[in-house]
Amino acid sequence: MPGKNQSAIPKNASPLVRRLGRSVLLTSEEVDYLETMQVNQAEVAKGDVFIHDGEPLRVTLLVRRGWVIRYRITPAGRRLIIGVSLPGDFIGLHVNFSHSSIYSAAALTNSSLALIEPVRILEIHRRFPVLASGLDWMTMRHANILAEHKVSLGARTAAQRILHFLLELWIRLEQVDLASDYGFDLELTQEQIGDCMGLSTVHVNRSISRLSRERLLKIDKGFVSFPEVSRSVSFADFDERFLMEFSTKSGTGRSRKQLP
């Protein structure tokens, strides 16, 4: 028998449930399944590498707490960060488990990960079609983020890239209740921002200084805010649609925070 519709997500719900619960009316059975599939957990200390490029990836990982990076090391020894995973984000959601990982992953902060067996993901597709659609949309959203990063690398200035990236993080964190209406706590160093955006640390520092002078960005003791949000959005060429949340109703997929 289907579970009773949830009118509200429990306050102690995991980030994954909070994210999906914004977009669709989850049943109690769906909430219970999403939570119980996360029972196998691992704690990862700041700086620890938990996925190595070329090694087998046997389970899907879900970030429950903390910030995680996925990256590649070039033959010349340079690290390129290909993605920042936040609470509620999957790593290897639709991975081909017969092959090895094509990236490494490390914890930026002390983090908690859920280790999910592939059969649990397949079971979602069999039993909960709406949830399955939500998970598939998360994969497409991940592709949208990568596409926007590619646009930044090819068509935006250094200052635009950085500002666009920080606006993106603000919305993503707010969607799992980890940011305020004013901003968020940044867990990336300037060097790591450079590794995400294809910039040197010196270039990042100069760009952030410029953005601060022009009141497009403020970073105070690690807290990022945007003094004039509408100007920041315009300068960064930021279109929030690439971060829209999943919805089963036509035309209602929007990011929760609707920027000016």
Specify the CATH number for the domain of residue 246: 1.10.10.10
Q: What is the pLDDT of residue 217?
A: 98
pLDDT score at 258: 60
Q: Is residue 199 part of a domain?
A: yes
In a domain, 164, yes or no: yes
Q: Given a cut of 50, is residue 4 above it in pLDDT?
A: no
Q: Flag whether the pTM goes above 0.95.
A: no
Q: What whole-number distance in Å separates Cα of residue 171 and Cα of residue 176?
A: 9
42 and 112 in contact (C-beta within 8 Å)? yes
CA distances, 60 to each of 53, 130, 166 (Å): 15, 20, 27
Residues 6+ apart with CB under 8 A from 51: 57, 61, 70, 91, 101, 103, 104, 105
- Report which secondary-structure segment, H or E, holds 209: helix 201-213
Beta strands in 66-179 (DSSP E): 68-73, 79-85, 90-91, 104-107, 111-116
pLDDT at 61: 95
Residue 259 domain flag: yes
Convert the pLDDT of each residue in 23-82 to its tens digit: 777 888 999 999 999 999 999 999 999 999 999 888 899 999 999 999 999 999 999 999
Give the residue numbers spanning the domain of 226. Answer: 155-260
With vertex at residue 204, the alpha carbon angle to CA 160 and CA 90, rounded to the nearest 5 degrees, is: 75
Q: Which has the closest alpha carbon to 21: 102, 160, 149, 134?
A: 134
- Does residue 198 lie in a domain region? yes
Mean pLDDT of the 118-140 span: 89
And the tokens for 248? 């089963």
Encoded amino acid at 122, one letter: L
74 occurs within a structural domain: no
- Examine residue 127 and state whether it is found in any structural domain, yes or no: no
> Is position 195 within any domain?
yes
Residue 183: which region, alpha, beta or left (left: phi > 0; alpha: psi -120 to 50)? left
Q: Residue 218's beta-bridge partner residues?
A: 225
Give the C-alpha separation, 197 to 169, whole Å. Answer: 13
Query: Quick check: 260 pLDDT over 90?
Result: no
Distances (CA, A) of 62 to 36, 42, 69, 111, 121: 13, 10, 13, 11, 12
| pLDDT at residue 3 tops 50 | no
What total of structural domains would you count in the chain?
1
Please state, as a whole number, how many other Cβ atoms lie within 10 Å of the Cβ of residue 125: 13
Q: Is residue 257 part of a domain?
A: yes
In terms of pLDDT, which residue wins out, 246 or 180?
Answer: 180
